[in-house]
Amino acid sequence: MMQQRAITDKEFSQFQRMIYDIAGINLSESKKALVTGRLAKRLSARGASSYGEYFSLLASGQDPGEVQVAVDLLTTNETYFFREPKHFDFMRAKILPGHSKTAGFRVWSGAASSGQEAYSIAMLLGDMLGDAPWEIVGTDISTRVLERARAGHYALERAQHIPKHYLSRFCLKGVGQQEGTFLVESGLRSRIRFLHANLNRALPQIGEFNLVFLRNVMIYFDAETKRQVVNRVASLLKRGGHLFIGHSESLNGINESLEAVAPSIYRKP
């Protein structure tokens, strides 16, 4: 087994600056092992003898595709179905019952990762709004996870948090070569658009939303980046719409235009 190359303090600081400039993410010193582990194979693939040499390749601007690969590797985070269930309970009890089924309902999953959040939302909307006009937009900075999200195909152990009646109604269990996996059914998949977007830059033209999920994203940003990102996101929230953030996050000192209605849940007046 080839020994993993070490990364110097200077090289690590170069990657810290790169990912901050691109995505607004602060990589602390404790993330050195993550950087070396995730990028080690790229050094080998590109014939780089050090992390500094690999960084020089990225910084040269000659291979934007490789820059996207590095960004994908450094920004991908763990997610799972029906994470932070109180948000889904709030949707079920407080938001969806008062919504007219003749009016469109749009949700934005702002850090969609490999799709579990967007599909969880879709199962709830499919259950409560049925054939009414609704849609979900899922965005992420990583093109690699978006490909997985569009497929809607997961290992069966990922289904542990999906309510059993949703699993039987909205998912297809793999057989034969697909045994041990499940596929979100095509009707739900067709209601979701997965798009590449960087929350730290100008957003694509995706319209306005009744509800935005921006969960477990801001923990990686400094205060100024948080303000910019939340303002950008809030501008796409309809009046009376809701913003969900992670339970460990807060908008205190970040945004005064949204009112808190429950822990980690905000409303645009």
Tell me which residues are annotated as active site. 38, 140
Q: Can you name the residues that pair with 52 across neighbouring β-strands?
A: none
Q: Residue 165: CB partners within 8 Å, gap ≥ 6?
A: none
Query: Environment class of residue 65 by beta-carbon count within 10 Å: exposed (0-12), middle (13-18) or buried (19+)?
Result: exposed
Alpha carbons 51 and 69: distance in angstroms, whole number: 15
CA-wise closest residue to 122 among 146, 91, 97, 148: 91
What distance in Å separates the CA atoms of residue 166 and residue 184, rounded to the nearest whole number? 10
CA-based angle 58:39:57, to the nearest 5? 15
